[in-house]
Amino acid sequence: MGSVTTLLIAALVAFPSGLAGVAPDCTSTDWLIGECPYISAGIEGDGVVVRGEQNSPGNSSGGSGTGTPGTNSVNGQGTGSGTGTTTCGFAVCRDNYTATAPVTLADLVNFRPTPGTDSMQPNGWMVVGLHTNFYAQASVQVQSGQLLGQAATVRFTPVRYHWTYGDGSARSTATPGATWQAQGLGEFEPTATSHSYRSPGTYVIDLTIDFAAEYHYGASTQWVPIAGVLPVPANRLVAVAGHAKTVLVEHHCAANPSGPGC
Amino acid sequence: MGFRMRAVALTAVALLLAGCVPNEPTVTARPPAVDPVFASDEEALAAAVEAYERYLAVADEVRADGGADADRISSVVTTNQLPDELESFERLRELGLITRGLSMFDSAELQSMAPAKGGIAVTIYACYDASGIEVVDSVGSVSRPNPTRQLFELTFESDLTNEKHLLLARSAPWDQSQPC
């Protein structure tokens, strides 16, 4: 039996735990021929990973074998050798037989939302005891990529905003805030996202925006929510707080009647 | 319209114009009782199982013919599901594949029932068993599905001409981590 058996076996790729997974609609025919991908998505690191896994049937091939007669010894025992292929099912493989084990195709695609931006009014400085208006700008983002030959699409939606004001205080809001003008407010008026500093100094203000994520795959247009949220840092602001009497303005009130303090 | 009815109607119009209609409590008529399509969960499940058997029988026939005359499947699926089925058979034909053997299933369980267009939608889980199926390509190579069993979520909807007669409306393999 000096035959060669070649087995090409693909390793199964396990999904990381914690990923939400669905199998898109799929007919029995597509499932039989390995056209039903299994899709899962989860938040990993600083982005969303969408993974696809698709099984293809294993196959086997062969035909009738040929052999050369053995030589008989005196005591009636013989040896022989043969070459050729044999017909056999996948699980019963023998001489000169090539089989391909069921193959699992695995693919993944990464998505990262574009960070939002943090802005402040007045820009770059604060008046001690008066409100400084911080506001975020972040948008709903839709990104697509190719996964197992079909489109995987992820939608990021900003859902929560976390400010740390650099003076030991912090605030989390569901609103991104807006400029005083957009809210119809006057300068230094309190807003849902404003903050008042008690002491002069230089402060570092950080904003992290939580994005919720959803995805869909292939022909489906139904968004599938991904568990958890993705915190994405925005730009850092560094600003100086001072007393009103020390604040410098660009123009005097006669030239700019709407300027700070006028 | 007789005199009495005309008088009542005219009075009502006059009251409406004068804004003098009293606020009497609204009496809402109870909707007429509707017979459920299936008398029990068991009956619904049995109807879905029969529908899936019919579907698999026709699908096996079409696959055995390499996807030829795929329109046969229209007798066992809804019009919404039909394009997906036809596309699948077309893929089979383009790949030059046929299947041999019979599809089976077991462990059918009722998931839900809901009103649907023209009747009812019945969703079940079932373990599709392809252990008896071989896929044969154009040169005679034989392959077998892997794995041979898969849990499916299946939705069936009433045939528009007979609400108790169900047709396959949706087919989705369930989470691979679920045992079958």
- The answer to whether the beta carbons of residues A124 and A133 sit under 8 Å apart is no
CB contact under 8 A, A28 and B137: no
- pLDDT tens for A167-190 read 999 999 999 999 999 999 999 999
Give CA separation, A43 vs A52, A209, A216, B39, B109, in Å: 15, 15, 15, 45, 33
- The answer to whether the beta carbons of residues A116 and A234 sit under 8 Å apart is yes
- List, in sequence order, every residue forming a beta bridge with A121; answer none if it has no partner: A133
Structural domains of chain A ordered from first start: 112-246 (2.60.40.10)
Selected for mutation to probe chain A from B142, B148, B151 (highest A CB count within 10 Å) is B142
Q: Residue A61 carries which side chain, given as an amino acid letter? A: S
B38-173 to CATH, choices 3.40.50.1970, 3.10.450.240, 3.40.109.10, 3.90.480.20: 3.10.450.240
State which of A48-57, A136-145, B156-165 shows the largest mean pLDDT. A136-145
How do strand A38-44 and strand A47-56 relate by DSSP bridges? Answer: antiparallel
Q: Does B176 touch chain A (CB under 8 A)?
A: yes
The answer, yes or no, to whether residue B71 has pLDDT greater than 90, is yes
Strand, coil or helix: B81 = coil
Q: Does A42 touch chain B (CB under 8 A)?
A: no
Report the chain A residue with the minimal C-alpha distance to residue B150: A31
pLDDT value at residue A250: 77
Contacts of B144 in chain A (CB under 8 A): 57-58, 89-90, 102
Q: What is the DSSP letter of B65?
A: T
User: Chain B 131-150, CB below 8 Å of chain A: which residues?
Assistant: 133, 135, 137, 139-147, 150
pLDDT value at residue A158: 98
CB contact under 8 A, A25 and B176: no
Closest by CA to A37, choosing from A109, A110, A141, is A109
pLDDT value at residue A119: 98
CB contact under 8 A, A22 and B95: no
Q: What is the mean pLDDT of chain A?
A: 78
End-to-end CA distance of chain A: 101
Q: Residue A95 carries which side chain, given as an amino acid letter? A: D
- ipTM confidence score: 0.80
User: Among A1-10, A154-163, A199-208, whose mean pLDDT is lowest?
Assistant: A1-10
- Please indicate whether residue A215 or residue A245 has the higher confidence score (pLDDT): A215
Strand, coil or helix: B78 = coil
What is the average pLDDT across B167-175?
90
Q: Does A85 touch chain B (CB under 8 A)?
A: no
**To the nearest whole angstrom, how far is the Cα of B150 from the nearest Cα of chain A?**
9
Q: Does B127 touch chain A (CB under 8 A)?
A: no
pLDDT value at residue A103: 66
The answer, yes or no, to whether residue B176 has pLDDT greater than 90, is no
pLDDT value at residue A105: 80
pLDDT value at residue A53: 84
What is the average pLDDT across B70-80?
97
- Please indicate whether residue A214 or residue A11 has the higher confidence score (pLDDT): A214
CB contact under 8 A, B144 and A21: no
- pLDDT tens for A83-139 read 333 333 333 333 443 444 556 788 899 999 999 999 999 999 999 999 999 999 999
- Please indicate whether residue B36 or residue B129 has the higher confidence score (pLDDT): B129
Closest by CA to A34, choosing from A55, A58, A13, is A55
Contacts of A28 in chain B (CB under 8 A): 55-56, 59, 103, 128, 152, 171
Report the chain A residue with the minimal C-alpha distance to residue B84: A27
Question: Which of A23, A34, A35 is closest, CB to CB, to B172?
Answer: A23
pLDDT value at residue A13: 31
pLDDT value at residue A22: 56
The DSSP result for chain A, as a single string, is ----EEEE-PPP-PPPTT-EEE-----HHHHHTT---EEEEEEETTEEEEEEEEEE-EEEE---EEEEEEEE-TTS-EEEEEEE-----TTS--TTEEEEPPEEEEEEEEE-PPP-EEEEESSSEEETTSEEEEEEE---EEEEEEETTEEEEEEEEEEEEEEE-SSS-EEEESS----HHHHT--TT---TTEEE-SS-EEEEEEEEEEEEEEEEETT----EEEEEEEEEE---EEEEEE-GGG---SS-TTT-TTSTT-
Report the chain A residue with the minimal C-alpha distance to residue B101: A32
Report the chain A residue with the minimal C-alpha distance to residue B59: A29
**Which residues neighbour A221 within 8 Å (Cβ) at sequence distance 6 or greater?**
none
Q: Does B58 touch chain A (CB under 8 A)?
A: no
CB contact under 8 A, A32 and B130: yes
- pLDDT tens for A199-215 read 999 999 999 999 999 99
Selected for mutation to probe chain B from A19, A32, A220 (highest B CB count within 10 Å) is A32
The burial of A104, by beta-carbon neighbours within 10 Å (0-12 exposed, 13-18 middle, 19 or more buried), is given as middle
The answer, yes or no, to whether residue A224 has pLDDT greater than 60, is yes
- Please indicate whether residue A212 or residue B30 has the higher confidence score (pLDDT): A212
Q: Does A9 touch chain B (CB under 8 A)?
A: no
CB contact under 8 A, A59 and B84: no
